[in-house]
Structures are given as structure tokens and as C-alpha cells.
Amino acid sequence: GAVVSQHPSWVICKSGTSVKIECRSLDFQATTMFWYRQFPKQSLMLMATSNEGSKATYEQGVEKDKFLINHASLTLSTLTVTSAHPEDSSFYICSALPGGSTTEAFFGQGTRLTVV
Amino acid sequence: GQQVMQIPQYQHVQEGEDFTTYCNSSTTLSNIQWYKQRPGGHPVFLIQLVKSGEVKKQKRLTFQFGEAKKNSSLHITATQTTDVGTYFCAGRRTGFQKLVFGTGTRLLVSP
């Protein structure tokens, strides 16, 4: 199957700093990428949908100024958690949808963010 | 907004017993997918169902999509310890690309 690489796999940062997470589709072009957040023992909550070359669409309750998403190319989307706080500590997962597809979305390995 | 609920939240079975998780959406879906997530891992795609009433099998796993395309189920026959993990359904509404995940069912299998 297609490969989506997410980096870093884990990161620890201090409160008030920003953290950037990258999501790359390695062997296909992804016109659409999704960013999810998962708290321990909970489901994946969709944060935003990003389409290459356009602004991301954020889900209700997700602060777009805090979670900056950039989808500058067909193989790369980034999520920047700005001014991180301990409550932002979570597992962040991206998924990528091949162009024109409405079937399987391919997931990155996830990034475990801990804000201290 | 769209909500997708799963029951049970958690089930602990003995190896060899059967297991079923049920998925219910608040809205009609164009398709539904099932994923398995092992502890510490990311979701892994299992299958997609598209047609009303569709039934698909993968070895010991049987997936069903309801006639109204608002519910689905996953049945595992004769569970094995390798089946341990959390099973999520994820649905897409017609005209939408985004996948909304269900609340998940965590399965524990004792040898």
C-alpha cells in the first residue's frame, strides 16, 4: 500500500513554544490531507482538512490560529502547534487521500506531543 | 454535526470466542471503512463497504453495511490473541471527503 511518513514520531517541548509536524506522501500525490488528534483511549478527532494550494478547513472548535496547517505541495502538509500548552499534549495523526480517491486514506505513524 | 457511535466501548474475551462491534451513524453514509489500531500504533485500514446491505469477509472477519447505510458491524469468529486492539469504523457522507471516526471498541483477548 501507499506510504505516508510523519515526522517527528515524538516531541517534547516547553510551554509557549511552537512545534511543527510534517506529513509526507512518499509514493503518491495527495490532493487532500487530514489532521487528527487522539487523546489516550479515545477516538481520532478530525481537526482539519487541507487541500493543496488552498486554505485548510477547520472543524468546529479547533482554533485555526493555534493549529496552523500548510499544504504547499502535493506530497507535504505541515501542522504547527503554536504557543503550545500542556493541554495540547496528544497524539497527532495525519492521513492522506490520493488524488481523485474516495476510498482508503493512508495514515502516518503519528506524532506524540508532550508539552511540559 | 455528524456523529458515529460504537458499542461496546470495551470487550474482553477468551481466545476462541466470537466478538462483534456495532457502529451507528447519525447521518446516512456514502461508504464506511473499518480500521484496527494496536496500542501505540496508527490506524490500519481493514476494509471499505459501499453498497446498502453489503457483506464482506476477510478470513475470520465479517463486515456488514446496513440497508439504510447508517450502521455497520464487524464480527470476528474464534478470536486470537493477535486480534487485540481497538477497532474503529469511519464513515463518509455523500459529497464529503472527510472521514469521521467512530468512538472505537477496544478488544482484549486472553489466551
**Model pLDDT, residue A1:** 65
**Model pLDDT, residue A39:** 92
Give the Cα separation of B78 and A101 in Å (integer).
34
Q: Would you give the distance in Å from CA A82 to the centre of its chain?
A: 13
Helix and strand numbers (H, E) in chain A are 0, 11
Give the Cα separation of B10 and B35 in Å (integer).
16
Among positive and negative, which fits the CA dihedral B25, B27, B32, B37?
A: negative
Q: Please state which of the ranges A12-16, A40-44, B65-69 shows the lowest mean pLDDT.
A: A40-44
**Model pLDDT, residue A53:** 81
Q: Say whether pLDDT at A72 is over 70.
A: yes
Residue pLDDT, tens place only, A33-67: 999 999 988 999 999 998 888 889 999 999 999 99
**Model pLDDT, residue B70:** 96
Q: Provide the pLDDT confidence category of residue A97 given band limits of 50, 70 and 90.
A: confident
Determine what percent of chain A is predicted with pLDDT higher than 70: 96
Q: Say whether pLDDT at A68 is over 90.
A: yes
Q: Which residues of A touch B89 (CB under 8 A)?
A: none
Whether the CB of B39 is below 8 Å from some CB of chain A: the reply is no
Smallest Cα distance from B92 to chain A, Å? 9
Q: Which residue has the higher pLDDT, A54 or B30?
A: B30
Smallest Cα distance from A82 to chain B, Å? 24
- Decide: helix, strand or coil at residue A87: helix
In contact, A4 and A106? CB cutoff 8 Å? yes
Whether the CB of A34 is below 8 Å from some CB of chain B: the reply is yes
